[in-house]
Amino acid sequence: MRILFAGFRRMRLKTIVFSVTLLAALITTFCIVTQYSGGQSDALETARTHYNGAISYVGEKLASYGDSAGSDANKEGDTAVKDETTPEGSGKENVQLEESNMGQHSNSTTGDAKVDEALIHYQESQLTSSEDEIKKLEDSEIEQTSMPFEDDNLINKLERPLYAISGAEAANASNALLLENTEIYKKLLDEPITEPKVGGLIRENDPVAGKGNATIMALVQNKDVDAIVGTIQQLEEKFNAKFAYPYTLMNEEYFTDEFKNRITSMLPVDRVVHFAKIDSEDWDVPEDIDMKKYKENMNQLDRDSVQYAKKISYHNMCRFYSSKFYHQDVLNNYKYVWRIEPNVNFYCDIDYDIFQFMEENQKIYGFTLSLYDSPQSVRSLWNVTLGFVKENPHYLNRNGAFEWIKENLQKPENFNMTDGYSTCHFWTNFEIVDLDFLRSEPYEKYMDHLEKQGGFYYERWGDAPVRSLALALFADKSQIHWFRDVAYHHFPYTNCPSSPMGSRRCDGKCTPGVFSAYDNLIVENCLPTWIKYSMSEEQLDMY
């Protein structure tokens, strides 16, 4: 598997198209042969069988092509902090879905069957391709700019798309890339795993278990009590009953006694819980925001079906989580924060101290899901960001995740609308973050720059794309960790690993490898790009 993904990572896009063409030719041949002997349905079934063999063969070839291509902190009770207002109490910070994109939920097609069905549909479409079209695809000079990405000038990398392709060829290549990425994701998630294969994992009975300088944090309103209780109950069952890390709950208003009692009564008496109210200056709309311009812009975004565009509390929350939360007094003495939200699910046991794993392995950020964002909500964010790094090129990390943010084929409309940003981001409703990174000079200067632009209100910049761009540009990508083993769900997306036969680590409430129950949302998955371009062989072998 490691060799396969290493091959995928630096392959030329021409090889992608060649591979799909090869598959189409194989499929067409077998369909023609079997159609005469068994009819169309038998032909498709035969095509499926030979497709699986072709995938393995092409994977080996692509691998060879790719190889040649170039603490005990803060124990006081109530403190002053701040809360996020979450729309409808759902905790869905970055769900960028329009109603027309939700699709229909299929109760009968899950897991492998979903991917197989998608592949068969693609295969059927290939059967209609003429020989001339196949020849045209095979002969087209589609260049991937991964080699120029070796350029010494980091700014040049950020001004170019990952794939140098446009026009009619782009549509064909986009379909091929989505098919390839779907297969990459499925193959990796099909591998049975338990936990990171590193030495020194801290277990429940270890004397230092639960001694990391960390807290579990949520931004909630009083009305969210039932939803956050459900989240905390699951996290206690899967992780924190073993390690007893403190909770920090923030609110834009004062927490009610009823809220506090509900939380403390469900936890062991010795579990530390901080209840904090956020200062209004860190939450409210800044005085220099032109409210007339804000309303006009939000009316347009609302017409464009951008979610939560007209909810001022959502804009406040995005700004707070981007640049304010880590300065709250209640977090001053903590190094790591694990962010959780109401109405999320955890499906598998976590039997090691996740915070001490982060520290021992020098990880500054942990995530479970990576998605594309709504491009209408971040139209100017990339140009503003590029302007900042041009003024401050010394902040760029030479081992940044540049390809991930410059990918331009899976959802080319996103890249085009934002003038050069894939919109790939970490879904920050789950994040484990080293606050030292957020308090660093590059991140803080970047936040100051964004604050002056007003984009949290004149557009709908989310904390997820903001945080993700900062990480991709200023952090070493080897210090960013995908927690493949943490089974996590926030509607409508899931990170669900496979478990070894006989393992009882997971509760079986998610289907391994199924990113979303909605078939038309498969295209929203940015993880394959992260896997191909941002994960080293060492990281791929960690599970």
**175 and 283 inside one domain:** no
Give the 3-state secondary structure percentages of the chain, helix then strand then coil, rounded to 5.
Answer: 50, 10, 40
**170 and 303 inside one domain:** no
**127 and 161 inside one domain:** yes
Whether the upstream peptide bond of residue 492 has omega within 30° of 0, thus cis, is yes
**438 and 321 inside one domain:** yes
Is there a domain that residue 178 lies in?
A: yes
Query: pLDDT tens across 274-299, in order?
Result: 999 999 999 999 999 999 999 999 99
| 389 within 8 A of 402, measured Cβ to Cβ | no
Query: Does the reported pTM lie above 0.85?
Result: no
**240 and 139 inside one domain:** no
Q: Which residues pair with 192 in a beta bridge?
A: 498
> Mapping DSSP to helix (H, G, I), strand (E, B) and coil, where does residue 276 land?
strand
CA 214 to the chain's CA centroid:
22
**167 and 230 inside one domain:** no
Q: Which two tokens stand for residue 482?
A: 């995908």
**55 and 171 inside one domain:** yes
Is there a domain that residue 267 lies in?
A: yes
**122 and 227 inside one domain:** no
**165 and 286 inside one domain:** no
Boundary of a domain, candidates 159, 190, 221: 190
Q: What is the pLDDT of residue 167?
A: 81
**273 and 376 inside one domain:** yes
Report percent pLDDT > 70 for the chain. 72
Boundary of a domain, candidates 131, 165, 190: 190
Total domains in the fold of the chain: 2
Write phi, then psi, for 219 (nearest 5 degrees).
-105, 115
Q: 249: burial class by Cβ within 10 Å (0-12, 13-18, 19+)?
A: buried
| 194 within 8 A of 505, measured Cβ to Cβ | yes
CA distance 375 to 415: 8
> Mapping DSSP to helix (H, G, I), strand (E, B) and coil, where does residue 337 land?
strand
Is there a domain that residue 104 lies in?
A: no
| Residue range(s) defining the domain that contains residue 128 | 2-70+114-190
Query: pLDDT tens across 8-48, in order?
Result: 444 444 444 444 444 444 444 444 334 433 333 343 343 34
**239 and 155 inside one domain:** no
Q: What is the CATH number of the domain that holds 503?
A: 3.90.550.10
Selected catalytic residue, list 93, 431, 459, 524: 431
Average pLDDT rounded to a whole number, residues 380-395: 98
Whether 431 is a known active-site residue: answer: yes
What distances in angstroms separate CA 138 from CA 57, 119, 131, 459, one per listed residue?
18, 20, 10, 42
| 274 within 8 A of 218, measured Cβ to Cβ | no
**21 and 118 inside one domain:** yes
CA distance 348 to 294: 43
Is there a domain that residue 102 lies in?
A: no
Boundary of a domain, candidates 143, 163, 190: 190
Is there a domain that residue 221 lies in?
A: yes
**Beta-sheet strands, E only, within 483-524:** 488-490, 493-495
In the predicted model, what is the mean pLDDT of the chain? 82
